Amino acid sequence: MSGFPLTVGHRGRYGARPRGSSLRSWRWSDRVVYVLAWASGVMLCAVAGALVAYLAVRGVQYLSPSVLFSRPQPGLDQARTGGFLDPILGTLLITLIGVVLATPIAVASAVWVVEYGRPTWLARVVESSVEIVAGTPDIVIAIFGLALFQLGLFAPLSFTSAQGGVFGRSFLVAGAMMSLLALPSVFTAVRDGLEAIPGHQREGAFALGKTRVATIRRVLLPGVRPNIATGVTLGIGRIVGDTAIVLVLLGASLRLDPQSDVPGVGLLRGTGSTLTSYVYDNSPAGEGNAPQKAYAAAFVLLLLVLGLNSAVGAMSRRGAHAPVGRVGLGR
Amino acid sequence: MSVHEFSAVHRAGVEAEEVPPVRRIVLDRPPTVVVSEEGVRGAARRHAATVPGPERLSLSKVGVRYGEHAAVKDVSLSIRQGEVLALIGPSGCGKTTLLRTLNRLTELTPGARRSGSVLLDGDEVEQLENTALRARVSMVFQQPNPFPMSIFDNVAFALREQSRKRPGKRELEPRVIDALLRVGLYDEVAGDLDRPALRLSGGQQQRLCIARAIVQRPEVLLMDEPCSALDPSSTQAIEELIHELRGDLAIVIVTHNLQQAHRVADHVAFMYLGDLVEYGEVEQVFQSPRAQRTRDYVRGVFG
Amino acid sequence: MLKRLRNPWPDHRAERLLGAVACSVGLVIALMILFVAVRAWPTFAHNGLSWLGFGGDVDKQVGKMIYTGPKPPAAAYHLRAWPLVYGTLLSTGFAVLFGLVFALLSAIFIVEFAPGPVQRVITPVVRLLASVPSVIYGLVGILVLAPFVGNHVISGSEKQSVEYVVQLDGTGLVVAVVILTLMVTPIMIALIADALRSVPTAWREGAVALGVNPLRATLAVSLRAIRPAIVAAAVLACARALGEAVMLSMVSGSRAFTPKPIDGVVFLFEPLRTLAASIVENAEALNAPAVRSTVYAFALLLLFSAFALSLSAYLVKLPLRRYHAGAR
């Protein structure tokens, strides 16, 4: 689909090469822009390449299958021992909770806004709210989560100390706040997908006597399934990469630390770590002096994000109804 | 009215004693909508009009291929100043491709190749810098495409961006107003030249595009079906405009409307599937075409 | 009974249910504002608007707060947050400014000049860069860039010149701005490049047909046409830079210091702290009510800034709409 030649005049033809616009006839300022644009492009490629290459090289040094599947060990020589199975599990768990909470709410809201949306001011309020959530810094969401879940009302969701202070930090709590990160991505994707479905599909279903609800269930929702998938993947990307919420709301234990004897519930109420907090803790900013571990975990994280991005690209190529969110931020 | 009736009336007009004077667009009156009878008699105007000037564009054995497909095959034509050449033919015959070859706009499509020679005042167009070429050979498109700027900025665009040093507004103003006057748009927009151009009506936008194209005093004006997206009154205004402008320019117009070709053109080139089937004066092509295919097309056997 | 299960829900009930779920999103926002404001209230009550002013060392002021008991006196809430506000403005401002320039140039390169294969590779690369977690940027900053700056760029004499006031170890303004720019630029590149590609070809063709070279056509027509997208990109970058907490707390330095331009070159290397980073730094000490109130005050300020940004973006785009009647 290239409409415009990349460099003018360089096209093979019968006879002599046609003359393009020579740089000498350009304005002086245009020539500067030309040089700077090339410089920026080259610098962009260089920086991207250097970043990925450096992380790969440093990351692979510590990485091995045993590291991926073994648990962090307390030990004297922190720099050499222990894997990061727990952080990986932590990332998976928190992502799961976040997505499970966000998707139904986002889909339901998007369906309501597009298909019903009465009164109009309320629909606009809902849309603005989603935009506000999308624009809120994740650290503010984390702090809000802390304030919310330290209420006695939510004591069952986390650990309660002997003096009665609710800890307010657990996988459930962190996952709940993570769902706020994924919500805008799914909402926008589903809303755009629904809006892109032409009206005559709905009218056709109504003409056959179906109620609106049935139309939604049987006609529209299946149609936006690719959009839901893309939105969820974008949301997962945001959750996986977030550190602030994890640092504030997941407690500070390196290993998964369940809070009660009931297996599932205990885990959810307990604390742990994720890949992102593991990287932070092992860097000089945290308490760690084990940069190799940090690099290894960072590399795994990068691969994860790369995989998610490719998945989004592949999904949108297979054809969602509407253009998919462009970057992994859910905007 | 079919083409035959047009021809009949035209013949009658030629034999009439009086040839109506050439109509000029007067400054203090808005462009008028010409009633159809006058439009018919307008066909006689041509003979009282300008004498053809020097040859501007000379095409010799021009062929254009897109990859394997030959869109234009072996076309040789001559275009003079003061003349209007109409390229007619069914869709897909290559007339638009030929038009776009004249200002090298075909280069924008990857895989386009041209053979033969196109000479602008004796210079092969591929040897000129394409920006310099397009300043001398301007183009107006089918869909009016004014830029998202004010009216003044639109018309002044080529003057501003082509020059090495950006000229000031005071320098540009006379030339912009002159161009707007020549297209008959000035009275309608004189009040506020800083209005966004996209707010104008379709016909006004197209006239704005023409003003934009002629402000640089090009030698040749290319028009790619300029009226097909417009309503009849705007179409008529633009046809009058073409007649007005042809004095200093050579105009090449692509049209699928045979009546329009008959109204505005001096020479007609009929193309079919890339070949130049017939080329000649408008009367000859419409009344006594040499090729059977031309006869069929002009009679409406195929479209 | 079975019949009711098999029939689909009546429309009005579904509408009400879905509407309730949708409104819960609005409810969450309202709760967020409420909780943060309520917890931040004591700080503003005891400090008033001069809380935003300057005076004193923020670290010391917060340090004092940690040791006050459950019912601290009014004086315990004393804080002057200007260094943090200044740090936020400085880092965000520079990052978005440099990032915007770089993003525009790169987007023009990608759309105009890049050869085909490079173009196909760059686009997914830019998207990948945009979704790299901030902690990875922080890691590279603190393990690579900061030591480099600390050991090779800052000279010994410069370190000595400010020795009594602050330690220059490489973490500071320049590393923070560089990494923050690196973080926000890919998003802007992606948005601007997409916008450039979606400018109607009719305009580009028209400009080129008038004899304008392609770069000039882009600068004169396309950039004007995508002004709303540029504004949107800048706002998005601002929002991201503003809310960046973890990465900045890693690389911007160990103290809530106010870098002073009159210090000359050393200004670039002085440490700083932003509002968001302060929240992260003090997140463990939230048990002390004074600290908690202060931290929530930071959060409230951040929240207001985010709102103000979205609002101003909307307002800026409004007058630009008149030139795009019909066309977008």
Contact: C206, B131; criterion CB under 8 Å: no
Contact: B115, A14; criterion CB under 8 Å: yes
Count of beta carbons in the 10 Å neighbourhood of residue B51: 8
What pLDDT was estimated at residue B3?
52
CA distance C81 to C77: 12
What pLDDT was estimated at residue A324?
46
What pLDDT was estimated at residue A80?
57
In chain A, residues 126-165 whose CB comes closer than 8 Å to chain C: 126, 129-133, 135-144, 146-148
B13-66 per-position pLDDT tens digit: 444 445 555 555 555 555 554 444 444 444 444 444 556 778 888 888 888 888
Residues 6+ apart with CB under 8 A from C39: A147, C292, C293, C296
What number is the average pLDDT over the span A147-161?
A: 74
What pLDDT was estimated at residue C4?
54
What number is the average pLDDT over the span A158-170?
A: 69
Q: Which of C206, C212, C324 is facing B131, going by the closest CB pair? A: C212
Contact: A144, C126; criterion CB under 8 Å: no
Over 50: is that where the pLDDT of A1 sits? Answer: no
Chain pair A-B, CB pairs under 8 angstroms: 50
A79 pLDDT band, cuts 50/70/90, is low
Chain pair A-C, CB pairs under 8 angstroms: 279
Q: What is the H or E stretch that residue C308 is in? A: helix C289-320
Contact: A21, B131; criterion CB under 8 Å: yes
In chain B, residues 87-126 whose CB comes closer than 8 Å to chain C: 103, 105, 108
Sort residue A209 into left (φ over 0), alpha (ψ -120 to 50) or beta. left
pLDDT > 90 fraction of chain B, expressed in percent and rounded: 17
Contacts of A2 in chain B (CB under 8 A): 110
What pLDDT was estimated at residue A11?
41
Whether omega for the bond prior to residue C200 falls within 30 degrees of 0, making it cis, is: no
Which of A9-13, B22-26, B113-117 is predicted most confidently? B113-117
What pLDDT was estimated at residue C271?
84
Searching chain C, which residue's CA lies closest to the CA of residue A117?
C19
What pLDDT was estimated at residue C283?
80
In contact, A185 and A238? CB cutoff 8 Å: yes
Mutation for testing the C interface, residue in B125, B139, B145 having most C CBs under 10 Å:
B145
Give which of C130, C108, C120 is closest to C192, Cα–Cα.
C108
Question: Bridge-partner residues for B254, per DSSP?
Answer: B87, B224
Between B252 and A315, the more confident residue is: B252
Q: Check if B114 contacts A (Cβ < 8 Å).
A: yes
In contact, C95 and C69? CB cutoff 8 Å: no
All chains having 3 or more CB pairs closer than 8 angstroms to chain A: B, C
Stated pTM of the model: 0.82
Searching chain C, which residue's CA lies closest to the CA of residue B130?
C211
Q: Which of A3, A18, A21 is facing B126, going by the closest CB pair? A: A18
Q: Which of C209, C217, C327 is facing B148, going by the closest CB pair? A: C327
Q: How many helices (H) and strands (E) does chain A have?
A: 14, 0
Count of beta carbons in the 10 Å neighbourhood of residue C327: 15
pLDDT > 70 fraction of chain B, expressed in percent and rounded: 83
In contact, A203 and A298? CB cutoff 8 Å: no
Contact: A247, C122; criterion CB under 8 Å: no
What number is the average pLDDT over the span A248-258?
A: 75
CA distance C131 to A238: 8
Q: Which of C18, C142, C215 is facing A112, going by the closest CB pair? A: C18
Query: Measuring CA to CA, how many Å separate B10 from each of B261, B285, B297?
Result: 14, 14, 20
Q: Which of C209, C224, C324 is facing B134, going by the closest CB pair? A: C209
Searching chain B, which residue's CA lies closest to the CA of residue A29?
B164
Residues 6+ apart with CB under 8 A from B227: B206, B234, B235, B238, B239, B255, B257, B260
Q: What is the H or E stretch that residue A45 is in? A: helix A28-62
Contact: C187, A143; criterion CB under 8 Å: no
Contact: C135, A306; criterion CB under 8 Å: no
Mutation for testing the B interface, residue in A11, A19, A32 having most B CBs under 10 Å:
A19
Mutation for testing the B interface, residue in C119, C210, C227 having most B CBs under 10 Å:
C210
Give which of A176, A174, A170 is closest to A156, Cα–Cα.
A170
Between A226 and A26, the more confident residue is: A226
Sort residue A21 into left (φ over 0), alpha (ψ -120 to 50) or beta. beta
What order do you get walking across the sheet with B267-272 strand by strand? B123-124, B112-120, B55-66, B69-80, B275-281, B267-272, B84-88, B250-254, B220-224, B137-140
What number is the average pLDDT over the span A206-218?
A: 80
CB-facing half-sphere around the CA of A120: CA atoms within 13 A: 0
Contact: A133, C279; criterion CB under 8 Å: no
Contacts of A55 in chain C (CB under 8 A): 136, 140
CA angle B176, B177, B178 (to 5 degrees): 90
B189-242 per-position pLDDT tens digit: 888 888 888 888 888 999 999 999 999 889 999 999 998 888 888 898 889 888
Alpha-carbon distance A153 to nearest alpha carbon in chain C (angstroms): 14
In contact, A139 and A59? CB cutoff 8 Å: no
A227-242 per-position pLDDT tens digit: 898 899 989 999 998 9
In contact, C177 and C137? CB cutoff 8 Å: no
* Helical residues (DSSP H) of C198-288, grouped into ranges: 201-209, 214-217, 223-225, 227-243, 246-251, 275-281
Contact: C216, B161; criterion CB under 8 Å: yes
Q: What is the H or E stretch that residue A318 is in? A: helix A291-319
Searching chain B, which residue's CA lies closest to the CA of residue A7?
B108
Searching chain C, which residue's CA lies closest to the CA of residue B209?
C206
Give which of B100, B91, B94 is closest to B252, Cα–Cα.
B100
Average pLDDT score, chain B: 82
Searching chain B, which residue's CA lies closest to the CA of residue A12?
B113
Alpha-carbon distance C208 to nearest alpha carbon in chain B (angstroms): 8
Residue-by-residue pLDDT tens, chain C, 328 positions: 555 555 556 777 888 888 888 889 989 999 999 999 998 888 888 877 777 777 777 777 777 777 777 777 777 777 788 888 888 998 999 999 999 999 999 999 999 888 888 888 888 889 889 889 999 999 998 888 888 888 887 777 777 777 777 777 778 888 899 999 999 999 999 999 999 998 998 998 999 999 888 888 899 899 988 988 898 899 889 988 998 888 888 888 777 778 877 777 777 788 888 888 888 888 877 777 888 888 898 999 999 988 888 888 777 777 766 555 433 3
First-to-last C-alpha distance (Å) of chain C: 54
Give which of B285, B162, B141, B294 is closest to B216, Cα–Cα.
B162
Q: Which of A2, A11, A28 is facing B107, going by the closest CB pair? A: A11
Question: Bridge-partner residues for C234, per DSSP?
Answer: none
What pLDDT was estimated at residue A159?
67
Amino acid type, B240 = E
ipTM: 0.85
Mutation for testing the C interface, residue in B106, B129, B147, B165 having most C CBs under 10 Å:
B147
In chain C, residues 187-216 whose CB comes closer than 8 Å to chain B: 200, 202-203, 205-213, 216
What number is the average pLDDT over the span A302-308?
A: 90
What pLDDT was estimated at residue B185?
87
CA distance B107 to B109: 5
Give which of A6, B158, B32 is closest to C118, Cα–Cα.
A6
Q: Which of C206, C210, C323 is facing B196, going by the closest CB pair? A: C323
Count of beta carbons in the 10 Å neighbourhood of residue A323: 13
What pLDDT was estimated at residue C106?
94
Count of beta carbons in the 10 Å neighbourhood of residue C319: 9
> What phi and psi values does residue C44 have, to the nearest 5 degrees?
-70, -30
Q: What is the H or E stretch that residue C328 is in? A: none
- Over chain B, what HEC string results? CCHHHHHHHHHHHHHCCCCCCCCCCCCCCCCCCCCHHHHHHHHHHHHHCCCCCCEEEEEEEEEEEECCEEEEEEEEEEEECCCEEEEECCCCCCHHHHHHHHCCHHHHCCCEEEEEEEEECCEECCCCCHHHHHHHEEEECCCCCCCCCEHHHHHHHHHHHHCCCCCCHHHHHHHHHHHHHHCCCHHHHCCCCCCEHHHCCHHHHHHHHHHHHHCCCCCEEEEECCCCCCCHHHHHHHHHHHHHHCCCCEEEEECCCHHHHHHHCCEEEEEECCEEEEEEEHHHHHHCCCCHHHHHHHHCCCC
Contact: C243, A37; criterion CB under 8 Å: no
CA distance A191 to A230: 12
Q: Which of A47, A55, A139 is facing C245, going by the closest CB pair? A: A139
All chains having 3 or more CB pairs closer than 8 angstroms to chain B: A, C
Following CA atoms B196, B197, B201, B204 in sequence, which dihedral angle do they give, to the nearest 10 degrees?
Answer: 140
Q: What is the DSSP string of C51-101?
A: GGS--S-HHHHHHHHHTS-SS--GGGG----HHHHHHHHHHHHHHHHHHHH
Question: Bridge-partner residues for B224, per DSSP?
Answer: B254
Contact: B199, C325; criterion CB under 8 Å: yes
Contact: C36, A144; criterion CB under 8 Å: yes
CA distance C240 to B151: 39
What pLDDT was estimated at residue A179?
94
Alpha-carbon distance A263 to nearest alpha carbon in chain C (angstroms): 28
First-to-last C-alpha distance (Å) of chain B: 16
Over 70: is that where the pLDDT of A14 sits? Answer: no
What SS3 class is residue A117? coil
What pLDDT was estimated at residue A271?
81
CA distance C247 to C139: 8
Mutation for testing the A interface, residue in C25, C33, C300 having most A CBs under 10 Å:
C25
Between C284 and B97, the more confident residue is: B97
Alpha-carbon distance C323 to nearest alpha carbon in chain B (angstroms): 5
Contact: C203, B209; criterion CB under 8 Å: no
What pLDDT was estimated at residue B69?
87
Count of beta carbons in the 10 Å neighbourhood of residue C311: 10
Mutation for testing the A interface, residue in C11, C128, C295 having most A CBs under 10 Å:
C128
In contact, B86 and B269? CB cutoff 8 Å: yes
In contact, C139 and A283? CB cutoff 8 Å: yes
